[in-house]
């Protein structure tokens, strides 16, 4: 069975590579966009490489450009619509850097973690059992959150569509960060500023991200906005990542894990560094290519290879030990 799984993974990765190369123009990314992330302007800036010019950045994965890896989302967007680079963000997450060290070292009770997931019609999240993910898809996110936020917390994470909310919104894409925050304000049920819980809000949209300059970013898979705990996922981009549904499903979860990592405080984004593993040239990212927080793992081909390796090796925790150590050291109740 394991041999068959590995074979399927290799086929999946090769198919994704082939599809990505063939669809570089179909996804709407022009040559300038590809140059923007491949010329040293912080590929980790999947949404906008503002980090290159000091105005901040975000992160977005561009399936049309294998060399453009940035944050699977918009790493850190500064509300309302400026994209903060992971490397230039100075705001420390207010209630998300919870760490994985038991009770945070001060004997206080650990706050529970609540993840809300909303979606609009046509942008339903992938759910259910997937062989390539080794089980339930959303258990991947939960297991990885436990890896950095502590297994001892209580977690409320929806795993089926009937546990998620189908919402109606008044705006149509492309969506800028201000509009995403407005959606969150109108639909979020658990306040991010609550001192009783650690909360994250994820919304799936049937459209594309709009950069701060008004450009429609058809290569951005998801964005994590500043220290708000708000993450947006752009379903049309996810659907364009591969012809194979299992590859899309696992990759969607890997993107969520990466963005939750940023929102929680990785890398040097709230959690202090225990060791020198930040790839400063690429923002708030890990220098270990075997870690989900590595900047290049946001590129479509790289992400597919990363996912295939993780599954083949039986690894469901996508963070490396350095990132986990940072979370432990920065633990708060």
> Domains, the chain, ranges and CATH?
2-329 (3.40.390.10)
> What is residue 106's predicted lDDT score, i.e. its pLDDT?
52
> What is residue 142's predicted lDDT score, i.e. its pLDDT?
96
Q: How far, in Å, CA of 148 to CA of 181, rounded?
A: 25
Sign of CA dihedral 297, 299, 302, 303: positive
Calculate the CA dihedral of residues 8, 14, 19, 22 and round it to 10 degrees.
Answer: -160
pTM comes to 0.74
143, containing H or E segment = helix 137-149
> What is residue 98's predicted lDDT score, i.e. its pLDDT?
58
In the chain, which stretches have pLDDT less than 70?
1-107, 193, 298-301, 304
Determine contact, residues 112/197, Cβ cutoff 8 Å: yes
CA 198 from centroid of its chain's CA atoms? 17
Question: What 8-state DSSP symbol labels residue 295?
Answer: G
């Amino acid at each position: 069975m394991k041999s068959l799984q590995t074979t399927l993974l290799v086929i999946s990765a090769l198919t994704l590579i082939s599809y990505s190369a063939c669809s570089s123009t179909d996804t709407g990314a022009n040559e300038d966009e590809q140059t923007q992330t491949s010329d040293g302007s912080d590929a980790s800036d999947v949404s906008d490489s503002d980090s290159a010019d000091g105005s901040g950045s975000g992160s977005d994965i561009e399936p049309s450009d294998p060399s453009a890896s940035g944050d699977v989302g918009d790493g850190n967007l500064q509300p309302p619509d400026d994209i903060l680079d992971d490397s230039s963000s100075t705001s420390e997450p207010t209630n998300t850097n919870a760490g994985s060290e038991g009770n945070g070292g001060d004997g206080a009770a650990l706050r529970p973690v609540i993840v809300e997931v909303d979606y609009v019609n046509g942008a339903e999240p992938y759910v259910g059992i997937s062989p390539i993910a080794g089980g339930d898809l959303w258990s991947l996110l939960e297991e990885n959150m436990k890896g950095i936020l502590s297994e001892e917390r209580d977690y409320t994470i929806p795993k089926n569509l009937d546990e998620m909310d189908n919402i109606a919104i008044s705006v149509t894409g492309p969506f800028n960060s201000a509009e995403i925050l407005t959606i969150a304000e109108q639909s979020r049920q658990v306040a991010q500023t609550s001192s009783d819980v650690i909360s994250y809000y994820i919304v799936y949209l049937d459209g594309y991200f709009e950069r701060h300059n008004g450009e429609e970013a058809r290569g951005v898979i998801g964005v994590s906005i500043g220290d708000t705990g708000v993450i947006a996922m752009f379903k049309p981009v996810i659907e364009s990542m591969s012809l194979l549904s299992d590859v899309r499903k696992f990759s969607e979860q890997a993107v969520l894990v990466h963005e939750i990592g940023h929102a929680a405080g990785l890398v040097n984004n709230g959690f202090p560094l225990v060791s020198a593993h930040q790839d400063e040239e690429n923002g708030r990212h890990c220098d270990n290519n075997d870690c989900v927080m590595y900047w290049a793992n946001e590129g479509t081909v790289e992400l597919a290879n990363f996912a295939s390796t993780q599954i083949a090796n039986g690894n469901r925790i996508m963070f490396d030990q350095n990132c986990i150590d940072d979370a432990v050291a920065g633990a708060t109740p």
